[in-house]
Structure 1
Amino acid sequence: MAKKLKIWALLILLIIPAFISLIRPGFFWMQDDLQAFRIQQLDKCISDLQIPCRWVPDAGYQYGYPQFNFYPPGVYYLGELFHLIGFQFIDAVKILFVLGFVLAALTMFIFLRSLFGPVPAFVGALIYTYSPYKAVDVYVRGALSEFWSFVFFPLIFWAIYSLIKYGGKKYLAWMGLSIGLLLTTHALMSMIFLPLAALWGLLWVVLEKKWGVVLKLIFGGLLGLGIGAFFILPAMIEKPFSHSESMLGGYFDWRQHFVDINQLFISNHWGYGSSYLGPGDDLSLSTGHILWIGALLTTVLSLIWYKKYPKISTAVFVLNTLALLVLFMTHQKSSFLWEKITILAWLQFPWRILADSIFLLTIVSSAGLFIIRQAKIFWPVALAVIIGVFVLYSSFFKPYEWFNISDNEKFSGVLWEKELTISIFDYLPIFAKLPPTSKAPDFPEIMDGKASFLSYQKRSNWQKGEVEVFEMADIRLPLFDFPGMKVWSNGKEVIHSHNDCRKQEFCLGLISFKLAPGKHIIKAELTNTPIRTLANSLTVVSMFAIALLFIKSKYEKSDY
């Protein structure tokens, strides 16, 4: 145990340069500057016991939004935990990025150690940490959820491999849990990665000739889907009730974002810009020289030493093939596949799947160190790789610009106005023709009749107020309509519509209803639809099943 702790401590020490620039007061520039806002909005959900959080109150210019009904919430719950123990929202974001670096390195080390031993695993974890694309995810794009996918890739492969190799309920539990966490962290990464994980499982079932474990693997996958059901099912089934065209067209059209051979394998360019049509992108879209050269050399070694290491060599050939296929999908020559497999359009950027190729090539490169572990060149090569990683890539891991601000500045004034309207078309409820151009009013509007609001309160997924109606009145709430929205007056449900568009340049699809004369306590709230109720139930059952597997695994005989 002491030896394990020492190597883990050394690994963490060597990855500190990747995130040291984040450990200071303030916040940094990123392209997706909604990370702190998302945690802040989820905090409002938690305060109202809206669990799971689906509707956030301030997005959509404060008309409310089904943000976490469609955007994976997983990592933001962890960010909320850090906020609850006292950290600012902006500090919670920085902690999540730091923790993402640390956990991805540790999960990769644990996984690679199970295949190749500690030293190849150690080197592989460093290569994985300092891949140029990970620097892009953090310091250019600010893609927090995608960045956290790197934590779960190794965990899923490790759980699958260990379940096949050793059996045991704990590996089944880890498989289900890690798949579920990936699904709720980044659904698009899951779409590409989980088929690769299935092929990884099939590979080792064949190599180990353990066909009896196939049902366990299927069950583990179903557990993972169950864990992620609370998010995945509503996101898929209720997608027609939100606008998505802005996420597929214009800048986000996949046709503009292919990578050329020079960018993938030759260039070591670094920049903080965006990707555009053609090869002039001012950001790194490279696999990293060390990765592809290492994978190439490992392929040669696997051919030479195939008889001595048939299983590892076979795995190298399969993983290299998959990595090449993934890399092919980032190149314009693959456009015919993107045209045919229309679901791929949701990835928006073909280069986004570089994440998968980096993971696969890291495994292959580490296998090369395993093959030469008894040769005299082993330690010089391992040391050269570590030095090369730092020389080539460590300078990428720093912010473009730093702002000496706190939560107070982030959530007030011009910066707050910006948060309310960034990506305002994404997930806009379908009943709104276009996004609002001004902030939602504090009180409902009286469209017809005579009425006066005595009080009104807005919370995360509900609004409530007291109104005195003097003659039959048409009321329009400052709240988008969406499946599951219900309205009550004095405890009785009121029929509402979303087509009262008077005094609007274009219809916003706001909740409207009629009230008879008298005093009314009205409340509008997002409730669960049948699919949300089913999805929540599947998640609870799956969580219980995984907890039971972990408990039962304590009574199993150790596999080692």
Structure 2
Amino acid sequence: MKAVEIGAWFASASGMYWFASRVMDRNAGLVAGVAYLLAPYHVVDLYVRGAMPEFLAFVFPPFVLWAIYQIFSTRRAFYVPLAALAYGGMILTHVQMTVLFSPVILGYILVLWWSDRRQTADDRWQTADDRRQTADDRWQTADDRRQTTELSNHFITLSLRRSIGSFLFRSILALAWGVAIAAVFFLPVVAEQKHLTNDPLIGGFFNFRLHFLNPSQLLSPFWGYGYAGINGNVFVCIS
């Protein structure tokens, strides 16, 4: 168990280091890795709650983001199964973490797609200007020049759309593949739903109403790590 904890601890930091280093530089990667390693909630999961599934799930988000960025920057299909394995591993390790983090993944994909779209639009017009200049040099008649420019713009637009579409398709494919990997877990749950009861999972400690903080608790020096109370009306202090 100790070996698993240590391995997960440093794997999560390594994943964040690789991701931030790839997007920015090694110094930023080092800062991001240490910050992710020592994030309070990350530490609490291990030393206070002993929530091993959630603690282990922290390993996967940086690798998902890293693989998505690699798909974006290299356009290589090699990184699609890596993203799928990381996403599938997160689903199998901790479903709640997946529910919380999946919108971040989708948002990151959209940000990359939008930035790529703006960049390719600038490149398209710059290339079109270059082609127009070439057409002016090579052709004398207005008809030939217009035809050359239109053909150039057409093929450039098709090429760039295919490039952007490839990134979106491969990113979504990776997530879908990750869900398929995790099907070994959730398909039996769905199939056997009629034989299960949800009461132990939504009552008692797992009642979500017990975990909403009252604004005063955010500033209280006495509230420890415990129930936040039902709508802030119940105050529990654990020393």
Q: TM-score, normalised by structure 1?
A: 0.32
Q: Does 1:146 align with 2:54?
A: yes
Could you list the per-position Cα deviations for residues 417-475 of structure 1 after superposition, in whole angstroms to 9, with x for gaps in the alignment?
Answer: xxxxxxxxxxxxxxxxxxxxxxxxxxxxxxxxxxxxxxxxxxxxxxxxxxxxxxxxxxx
Q: Specify the code of the residue in structure 1 equivalent to 2:193.
A: K
State the number of aligned residues: 189
CA contact 1:183–1:232 (8 Å) conserved in 2: no
Higher helix share: 2
Q: Quote the offset at 1:103 in angstroms.
A: 0.4
CA distance in 2, matches of 1:214, 1:103: 28
Residue 90 (structure 2) pairs with residue 182 (structure 1): yes
CA contact (8 A) 1:164 1:213 kept: yes
Distance in 1 of aligned mates of 2:15 and 2:223: 27
TM-superposed CA distance for 1:184, in Å, is 0.7
How far apart, CA to CA, are the structure 1 residues paired with 2:226 and 2:193?
28
Structure 2 distance, partners of 1:246, 1:231, is 19
Q: Which residue of 2 aligns with 1:169?
A: 77
Q: Does the alignment pair 1:254 with 2:162?
A: no
* Residue matched to 1:196: 104
- 1:235 matched to 2:189? The reply is yes
Runs of 5+ unmatched residues, structure 1? 1-92, 284-560
Distance 1:121 1:156 in 2: 16
C-alpha distance in 2, partners of 1:269/1:155?
38
**Paired residue for 2:227, among 237, 261, 275?**
275
- Relative to 1, partners in 2 of residues 1:163 and 1:268: Cα closer, same or farther, differing over 3 Å? farther
Separation (CA, whole Å) in 2 of partners of 1:124 and 1:260: 31
1:225 aligns with 2:225: no
Secondary structure of the 1:274 match is coil
Which residue identity does 2:194 align to in structure 1? P
Supply the RMSD in Å over aligned alpha carbons: 2.2
Kindly tell me: are residues 94 and 267 of structure 1, through their superposed partners in 2, closer, same or farther at Cα, counting changes over 3 Å? farther
Are residues 262 and 100 of structure 1, via their aligned partners in 2, closer, same or farther at CA, if it must alter by over 3 Å?
A: farther
Q: 1:203, CA displacement in angstroms?
A: 1.1
| SS of residue paired to 1:169 | coil
Letter in 2 for 1:244: N
Q: Percent same amino acid among aligned pairs?
A: 29
In 1, the alpha carbon distance for the partners of 2:66 and 2:116 equals 15
Q: Is contact 1:105–1:129 with CA below 8 Å preserved after alignment?
A: yes
How do residues 436-451 of structure 1 correspond to structure 2 at under 5 angstroms? none
Counterpart of 2:7 in structure 1 is: 99
The separation in 2 between residues aligned to 1:268 and 1:173, in whole angstroms, is 47
Offset at 1:177? 0.7
Q: Quick check: 2:213–2:228 contact (8 Å CA) kept in 1?
A: no
1:130 partnered with 2:38:
yes
Which residue number corresponds to residue 170 of structure 2? 216
Amino acid at match of 1:121: G
Deviation at 1:141, TM superposition (A): 1.1
Shift of 1:239: 2.6
What is the CA-CA distance between 1:204 and the residue it aligns to?
Answer: 0.4
Q: Distance in 2 between matches of 1:95 and 1:256?
A: 34
Distance apart, 1:212 and its partner CA: 3.3
Matches within 5 A, 1:357-506: none
- Inter-partner Cα distance in structure 2 for 1:270 and 1:97: 28
Higher RCO, 1 or 2 (CA under 8 Å, sep at least 6)?
A: 1
Q: Deviations over 1:188-237 (max 9, x none)?
A: 21122112211111110111122332111121112111111101211233
1:282/1:119 Cα in 2 relative to 1: closer, same or farther (>3 Å)? farther
Task: Show the counterpart of 1:29.
Answer: none
Q: Deviations for 1:494-533, whole angstroms, at most 9, x for unmatched residues? A: xxxxxxxxxxxxxxxxxxxxxxxxxxxxxxxxxxxxxxxx
CA deviation string 1:62-114 (max 9, x = no partner): xxxxxxxxxxxxxxxxxxxxxxxxxxxxxxx2221111111000001001111
Question: Offset at 1:267?
Answer: 7.0
Q: Distance in 1 between matches of 2:3 and 2:12?
A: 14
Gaps of 5+ in 2: 118-163
In the superposition, relative to structure 1, how do residues 117 and 226 fare at CA in structure 2: closer, same or farther (>3 Å)?
Answer: same
Contact 1:165 1:208 in 2 (8 A): no
1:269 and 1:163 map into 2 onto residues whose CA distance is 48
The corresponding residue for 1:345 is none
2:28 is matched with which residue: 97, 120, 143? 120
Q: Which residue of 2 aligns with 1:400?
A: none
Distance in 1 (CA, whole Å) between partners of 2:237 and 2:73 is 44
The alpha carbon displacement at 1:169 in A equals 2.1
Deviation at 1:282, TM superposition (A): 3.7
Q: TM-score, normalising length from structure 2?
A: 0.72
Considering fraction of residues, name the structure with more strand: 1
The 2-side partners of 1:119 and 1:262 are apart by 38
